[in-house]
């Protein structure tokens, strides 16, 4: 596991893999520094290749301030650049979570946020922590 630091201004357009650029991992508060774990990028690319559909990252790296603002857990993996919340085009989050389960059978975090009233779309949280964590909200 290697966590790299990037600058949104300088590296934003840089490709981290075939389908993902640095800017997609930026904190939504617009801050310049971005932390991204290489294993997270590999995981997302694997998901992209498996479904062969666009993957939208709705939240990846978060600063402490932004994480508090969005109600993230104080030890959220998003703070370390090891987590992403994703939506796969035209694919229910349940299918995405099931597939990620096969990639991370004994490690990592998978949080399922099914589509429900008050949520335009569901999403899946994935992270590459060493321990295994699963939840559904
Ligand atoms: Zn998340």
Give 15 Cα–ligand 1 centroid separation in angstroms.
Answer: 22
Q: CA-based Rg of the chain, rounded to a whole angstrom?
A: 14
Q: How far apart are CA 122 and CA 94, in angstroms?
A: 9
pLDDT tens digits for range 28-81: 999 999 999 999 999 999 999 999 999 999 999 999 999 999 999 999 999 999
- pLDDT tens column, 99-133: 999 999 999 999 999 998 777 789 999 999 999 99
Find the 122 Cα to ligand 1 centroid distance in Å. 12
For ligand 1, the distance from its centroid to the CA atom of residue 109, given in whole angstroms, is 9
Its pTM stands at 0.96
Mean pLDDT in residue range 85-96: 97
The ranges assigned to domains in the chain are 3-136
Q: Report the Cα 137 to chain-centroid distance in Å.
A: 16
Please give the CATH topology (third level) of the domain spanning 3-136: Muramoyl-pentapeptide Carboxypeptidase; domain 2 (3.30.1380)
> Which protein residues have a CB closer than 5 Å to ligand 1 (ion)?
85, 125
């Amino acid at each position: 596991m290697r966590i790299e630091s990037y600058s949104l201004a300088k590296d934003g357009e840089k490709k981290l893999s075939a389908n993902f650029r640095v800017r997609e991992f930026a904190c939504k508060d617009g801050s310049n520094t971005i932390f991204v774990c290489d294993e997270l990028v590999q995981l997302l690319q694997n998901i992209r290749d498996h479904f062969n559909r666009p993957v939208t990252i709705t939240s990846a790296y978060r600063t402490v301030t932004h994480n508090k603002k969005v109600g993230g857990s104080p030890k959220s993996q998003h703070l370390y650049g090891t987590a992403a919340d994703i939506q796969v085009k035209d694919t229910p989050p349940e299918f995405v979570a099931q597939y990620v389960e096969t990639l991370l059978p004994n490690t990592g975090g998978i949080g399922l946020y099914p589509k429900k009233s008050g949520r335009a779309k569901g999403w899946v949280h994935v992270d590459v922590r060493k321990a295994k964590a699963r939840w559904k909200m």
